[in-house]
Amino acid sequence: MRRVLLRLFFVVALPVVLVAGWWAASNGSTDPFWPPLRTIAKTFPDVWTADRLRTDVLPSILRLAAGYALAAVGGVVLGTVIGSYRRVRAVCEPVLEFLRAVPPPVLVPIITLFAGIGDSMKIVVIASGCVWPILLNTVEGVRAVDSVMLETARSYGITGVARLRNLVLRSASPQIFAGLRQALSIGIILMVISEMVAASNGIGFTIVQFQRSFAIPDMWTGILVLGLLGFLLSVVFRLVERRVLGWYHGLRASTRRSP
């Protein structure tokens, strides 16, 4: 019980300190662009009603989910192929290094020309940025599979899909999830950027509309919504990761306990 309370304290302590500091620092502010936190908190429930959550937050989450899923499938499949074959990796590596160096926001105008300004454009923008950490981590994870285990599987006749599922992807899964975690934060950023450029709804669109109409407290509430969304998605991702990689965390814990 004591350990649980101590862990809860460390989780809650920093957010409480930051909020208290923000409240104290902005308490007497008369700057229209830096309103007091109490004003933002009072405005929040009036702005983010159930109707606005349905019309703005839900479309953003659906776009993020679609782009993220597309990047996850493409990144894992391509990363597995590239990481498994040396010749494929030698051919693809220069192109990958070139493409990964291009910032995804720069591609927004180009993607808009081909995909229009609808949801397809936003999904492609999110996927184009999320795919790289997933792809590169998958490549490194597949390359790092123990050669002795590969030879043992071959000697026992474990090949094809069974070898891929039970050995290669399982061994590479910790690094794949590391790439998925990095891609999640990138996806949230690109979701907002794509909605700020051309959209009729979404969190990014709403924040820009508040800014253009000088509704500064309302704009700050949108920023808080983004932060809360990122936090909730991080918690969900961690729960999924712990469930899928339970064997890996258990192995690490037993290794630390062993003399």
- Residues 210-227, mean pLDDT to the nearest whole number: 93
- Residues 25-52, mean pLDDT to the nearest whole number: 90
CA distance 113 to 111: 5
Note the pLDDT tens digit of each residue in 152-186: 878 878 778 888 888 888 889 999 999 999 999 99
The amino acid occupying position 111 is: I
pLDDT at position 40, please?
Answer: 92
CATH of domain 56-199: 1.10.3720.10
Instruction: Name the token pair of 110.
Output: 């180009």
Cα 118 to Cα 33, 63, 103, 167: the distances in Å are: 31, 11, 21, 41
DSSP letter for each residue of 53-119: IIIIIHHHHHHHHHHHHHHHHHHHHHHHHHHH-HHHHHHHHHHHHHHHTS-GGGGHHHHHHHHTTSH
Quickly count: other Cβ atoms within 10 Å of residue 68's Cβ: 25
Instruction: Name the token pair of 35.
Output: 């309103």
Structural domain spans, the chain: 56-199
CA distance 108 to 176: 26
pLDDT at position 29, please?
Answer: 82
